[in-house]
Structure 1
Amino acid sequence: MNLSYKYLSIVFLLICFATNACKKEAIGTTPTIDFSIQVSGDTVRFTNLTSDAKSYKWDFGDGDSSTEENPMHIYPGKGKYVPTLYAVAQNGAQAQGSTVIHISKTSPILLNDNTLSDWDTLSVNVYTSSPAGGNFIMGKFDYDANNIYFYFEMKATVADGNIFDFYLDADNNASTGLLTGDFTGGGYDELLEGQLLLNQSTAPIPLAPYVHTGAQNAFSFDAMTLSDFFKIGTVVQDGAILKFEGSFDRNKLNLTGPAIRVGIITTKSDWSATLGSLPDPSTDSYLLNLPE
């Protein structure tokens, strides 16, 4: 073999080596699993934030799965679930990451749907007043992880400006909070008082929260600094009967235990007379169990 041929061969090999080095796929790294979740009732939206991956698979922890990058999944009911995201990188490297989701009880109640028909599906936590209940006819309650919902039928109008007093036994413990003859069965840790249905920005007595202090036999409540702790939904005047719905924020009012007691008293706008009570006067307040 002559020298020039050897030289050309070496140059050719060097060129091939350089070319192969340029075309070789990057080795890459194992994907770093990253995703966020947004829970609304029993529906969860998964947002995939993982980079450097070519394919994904979700195991939702309830027997279902998806290969969508950002799926939405409806869970079959309340409980603890462990969804897992599997990712495969361009080089074939695989990684996975999991989180824990707690699906709490959901409620059919919607406060922004301009109807009260969703309350028709409830058959529990329904209280029907006797004549002793005054202007109260019926009360219904429901809840989810974030709110306690209420529905009332009353002999009243919004323009009456009735004052509402909600007595709340936040821990269902009669050894703490106010002991009152208005309702038995509980010690009332919180009081929500005001003209519930009037425009709260202009109402002479806006609904305000108070916490009990001092001895159990002393009507001593201090104001709490809270905002947006309640909402009013649909309000319907059906002849002489006023029907309306609303909710209280469980977290802001510390109503996060397994049960609470609630009793409501209505008074005329000038405080001149008591108009109604739910439950009936001098009976046990309503026990609302809140199992998650």
Structure 2
Amino acid sequence: MKSILNKLNLSAITPGLIIMVLLTACDFEYDLPEEGSFEDKTPPSANFTYSQGEGDNWMVYSFANQSTSATDFEWDFGDGNSSTELDAQNTYPGEGTYTVTLTASDKLGVTNVSSQVVEVVEPEVPLARIPVILEADFEDNSLPDGTGDGRDSWRNDFGGVIQITSSPVQSGAQAAKFPSAGDRVAYQDGLEVTPNTEYVLTYYYTLKTNNPGSITLTVLGGTITDLAEVAGATLASFEGTDQDSASTYVKVDLPFNSGANETISILITNQGEEARLDNITIDLGV
């Protein structure tokens, strides 16, 4: 009888144990996954843009990270330098072709790589502006619209209007004339230049020989409204005093730097003796 009961108990318990074991084995809800055991539904995507530095910093490149779904980054700039910053910057040794590689990864260990070829080239220096001087040779009808009396562009409120002479001239048919009284002033502003650029202004002058005298040409930064401002605005100035011959023009090359100015002015005055001036030009300096 006892043997029969034991068999019945064992028969009742065994199926229950089997069911419990099966249920436990099939319950994966609370299992901790190993790395990579789940599919990464938002894998990282590596991408970036870059820009070159300006002026003397042309070898410095800035890299803007455009990656998505990534937490860690490795930059290889192709010149032996690297970085793990989000956004990066690199100074290249010189001109050349470099392959820049960005590796983006997430916390699941999934990575993505983006590479771009960067051409490092020193930019060409832009050409500087050459100022356009109106009626620079004091000739009639020489304005852009075909009008002008050779001195319209030089009129101002600082002194009387300059005169025009036909003899002697350096070239062409006319030159500017400044009587010995020294009360005539030539002034022209708004001449566009490139800041911080070397220029050379060239002109020709002659003086009569009866009395000591001079003629002065001054390059000014910007515009003035009063002659009292001349000293503070002067970029370069030359006082011509050569009186060897009243009929022979003397050439003057006046170098100047435009400084921070985007425009310059030209001021011409004389004193003591009648003077003439002709053919003003401006070109780039060395």
What TM bracket, shorter-length normalisation? 0.3 to 0.5
- Provide the TM-score with structure 1 as the length reference: 0.41
Larger radius of gyration: 2
TM-score between both structures, scaled by the size of structure 2: 0.42
